Amino acid sequence: MSAIPVVGHIADIQGRPRMLWTQSLSWVLFLIGIFAYTQFSIVRHKENPEDRVIPSGAQLWQGIKASVLEPAEEDDALDPGASTYQRVTHSMLWKDTVSSSRRFFIAIALLIPAILIGLHMAVFPYAEAFFLRFVLFFDKIVALSLLPVLFIVFGIDELSKIMLMVIGVGPTLMLDTYNIAKSVPREQVVKAFTLKSTNFDVAYRVILKQIMPQVINSVRLNLKPLALFLFAGEMIASTDGLAYRIAIMRRHMGMDIIIPYLLWVAVLLFGMDALLRVANRRLHPWF
């Protein structure tokens, strides 16, 4: 047992790397990524000091400062005496984050009925007969191709963007919930009825309760498709939002804003995912 891993150990299933190794190994790819980026950036800036395709650290820092502290270009300028708090809450990034999050959370709220429909499909045979075939079919429709129809039906404002997310992710979530709920052993249902459960008890207190952690995990996996649909909607028609800004900045190679925005979106999604994960563990410690 030596402290330094022998080459043989690295490929060993039974290997037990020390804390130091697991910690440092997990950062290697990040470092490579940052290193590669810097290298590319340096090379490009050597050739053209004003390069905007791969902004340098200084350019990025300026971009971050501008997006966090300055109001968006279409808004009025702040008076110079504003406090940092005021500056942040009137900034471009803040404004875009608020409007994108609003759409995102409304869509998530509208997905709760989708979960319940999935549950009912799995538990009640008549609901299954009514919904399943249609949902299976509808799930295969590429939601983005419906966009022109959505614009006509729901107008070009918020609703069409939210509906794009709901229509894109809803059927998947329904089917996933349906499958999870179906896999609950039939014996449990029978047993519950012998203990004088009502239909409602079986559906909500026996089945929903125990599939909840898996459903939350399914929502976690669907965060990214949700974000994708949100971005698609915002890029096609909007007046604000994170993807709106990225679309606008793309028109003149504003990578110094786009890259911080991308990272910010990643952080937001990561945070949301972590929140759901922790909530899941707290709420369902038995899972």
Per CB under 8 A, 57 contacts other proteins = no
Total of chain residues touching other proteins, rule CB under 8 A: 34
x/- mask, other proteins, residues 230-249, rule CB under 8 A, reads -----xxxxx----x--xx-
84 vs 69: CA distance, rounded Å: 8
Per CB under 8 A, 56 contacts other proteins = no
Please answer whether residues 194 and 142 qualify as being in contact, where contact means their C-beta atoms are separated by less than 8 angstroms.
no
Of residues 240, 221, 228, the one with CA closest to residue 97: 240
Per CB under 8 A, 53 contacts other proteins = yes
56 vs 192: CA distance, rounded Å: 64
Q: Which is nearer to other proteins, 60 or 203 (CB)?
A: 60
List b or e across 100-117, with b for residues whose CB sees 16 or more CB atoms inside 10 angstroms: beebbebbbeebeebbeb
Specify the residue for token string 């349906």: 178
x/- mask, other proteins, residues 73-102, rule CB under 8 A, reads xx-x--------------------------
Per CB under 8 A, 145 contacts other proteins = no
Among 19, 20, 46, 49, binds other proteins (CB under 8 A): 49
CA-based angle 161:165:171, to the nearest 5?
A: 145
Per CB under 8 A, 252 contacts other proteins = yes
- The token duo for 195 is 């203990």
Q: Which is nearer to other proteins, 6 or 156 (CB)?
A: 156
Specify the residue for token string 């945070």: 271
Which residues of the chain form contacts with other proteins (CB under 8 A)?
48-53, 59, 62-63, 66, 73-74, 76, 147-148, 151-152, 155-156, 235-239, 244, 247-248, 250-254, 256-257
